Amino acid sequence: MTGRGYERIAFVASGADDAREARATLNTLYDGVPVDQADVVVALGGDGMMLLTLHDVMGRNVPIYGMNRGSVGFLMNDYREEGLRERLAAAERTVIHPLTMRARDRDNKVHVAKAINEVALWRETYQAAKFRIEVDGKPRMPELICDGVLLATPAGSTAYNLSAHGPLLPLASPLLALTPISPFRPRRWRGALLPDRAAVAIDVLEPEKRPVAAVADNIEFRDVKRVEIALDRKTNLVMLHDAGHGLDERILAEQFGW
């Protein structure tokens, strides 16, 4: 699906010198406006900058077009200064939804955060963590011993999920990836594919002895004892990619890469 013309463009940049220099140049070339006045936001940096920008505009329905001035750039378009308005007008729109994480800590305080890529639970000390996993209120795994466990969206399936040997998910697939991190017991459990309407609850077993942190993208809460996760279908996040180079194509190409 292609986009429309965008007149008011805001440029945001990571702290990298290349990104800041690009923002200054593009602001001059295209009369950049503040983010709160923009029809579209151009994020300059790497994938981390794209995620940060998506979090910053969450709930405003402003599309984000990333250009790579970082080191990875899986979510980004190639950087070029010329023809930006034409690229934006022809860009393919991808709509994604974040996860909502509700984490209860050992003091019974509830922390809520959104995750575009994944919600991950990690051991805080040298001892392995122990978890119990429920899906839609039904116990599915009474005990998982591992370094951690994560629930990833299709957009996030190429990030930590892939590094933890989780599956790559086509962007339009109605699925979430539940992936263990360095599982010890059951040793051969590789995770599960869940429908994206599923509600997942993860209880931390022995939380005093084996403390665990819960992380929604880069938002961390420590010493949690129960984490509930579900897809937030009411929140739409729009990313723009050059025609023929959208996330679906990149995820497909990743599966045939060497």
Residue 47 known to bind ligand: yes
136 is catalytic: no
For the chain, what is the largest distance between any 2 Cα atoms, rounded to a whole number of angstroms?
58
Token pair for 73: 């750039």
How many Å apart are CA 158 and CA 249, to the nearest integer? 13
Residue 108 known to bind ligand: no
Residue 70 known to bind ligand: no
Strand-pairing partners, residue 40, are 9
Catalytic pick among 17, 47, 78, 248: 47
Query: DSSP assignment, residue 71?
Result: S
Angle CA 205–211–213, to nearest 5: 105
Query: What is the three-state SS of 184-249?
Result: CECCCCCCEEEECCCCEEEEEECCCCCCEEEEECCEEECCEEEEEEEECCCCCEEEEECCCCCHHH
Residue 162 known to bind ligand: yes
Residue 248 known to bind ligand: no
Residue 61 known to bind ligand: no
Residue 163 known to bind ligand: yes
Q: List, in order, residues 6 or more apart from 164 with CB less than 8 Å away.
A: 150, 179, 180, 181, 182
Residue 159 known to bind ligand: yes
Residue 240 known to bind ligand: no
Residue 125 known to bind ligand: no
How many Å apart are CA 44 and CA 60, to the nearest integer? 20
Annotated binding site: 47-48, 117-118, 147, 155, 158-163
Which residues line the annotated binding site for NAD(+)? 47-48, 117-118, 147, 155, 158-163
Catalytic residue numbers read 47
